Amino acid sequence: MKATGVVRRIDDLGRIVVPKELRRTMRIKEGESLEIFTEGTDRIVLKKYSPVQNANDFVAEFADSIYSSNKKDIVITDNEKIIAVAGNYRKDIIGKRITLRLEDKISKRSTQIIESLDKLEICENTDMRKPAIIKPINVYGDIIGCVIVSSDKIGDVEKSLVEFSGAFMSRYLEG
């Protein structure tokens, strides 16, 4: 664990303020949830909460089934990292932090088509080599990640596939 040198008091309602510099560094945005853990009897650990990450095995199986039935490459992310890949993506990118550019595209809350000339880097050293379509995953009004489908050409099949996948993931994660 890394020391930050920051000390905060607990107020009379039991709240602690997480410093702005730390929130910026950790990409914690206003309204995001933090999960609380304990270590032993003297440590409290805060971790960014990701419902997509908590459904990890299901998400990986979902990505594999989309690829096996349609032969379209698929990437599923939360707001921070890549959760699952299927198709022509290397499995070693799972768990890697997404780029700020992809994070920006997700935050736009709309389905977007990326042409191959746009060269979208999804994580460090991994570019989309083919055209792709991005669909944010919306859970109770909050964008918590995205589904990306890529193919040699983006047509009606790819649009339907990403819309279905994004909507399905949204409903699954809403419970």
CATH code (residue 33): 2.10.260.10
Do both 154 and 122 map to the same domain? yes
Do both 79 and 31 map to the same domain? no
Do both 10 and 68 map to the same domain? no
Assess whether pLDDT exceeds 70 at residue 54. Answer: no
Name the residue with tokens 């299927």.
86
Q: What is the pLDDT of residue 51?
A: 65
Do both 126 and 162 map to the same domain? yes
Do both 66 and 146 map to the same domain? yes
pLDDT, average across residues 53-60: 79
Do both 45 and 58 map to the same domain? no
Do both 41 and 80 map to the same domain? no
Q: What is the pLDDT of residue 34?
A: 86
Do both 74 and 97 map to the same domain? yes
Lowest mean pLDDT, pick from 72-86, 114-128, 151-165: 114-128
Confidence of residue 94 (pLDDT cuts 50, 70, 90): very high
Could you please report the per-residue DSSP string of the chain? -----------TTS--PPPHHHHHHTTPPTT--EEEEEETTTEEEEEE--HHHHTHHHHHHHHHHHHHHH--EEEEEESSBEEEEESSS-GGGTTPBBPHHHHHHHHT-S-EEE-GGG--EEETTEE--S-EEEEEEEETTEEEEEEEEE-SS--HHHHHHHHHHHHHHHHHHH-
CATH code (residue 115): 3.30.450.40
Higher pLDDT, 52 or 26: 26
pLDDT, average across residues 137-160: 93
Do both 106 and 124 map to the same domain? yes
Assess whether pLDDT exceeds 90 at residue 37. Answer: no
Q: Look at the chain and report how many structural domains it folds into.
A: 2
Domain span including residue 155: 54-174
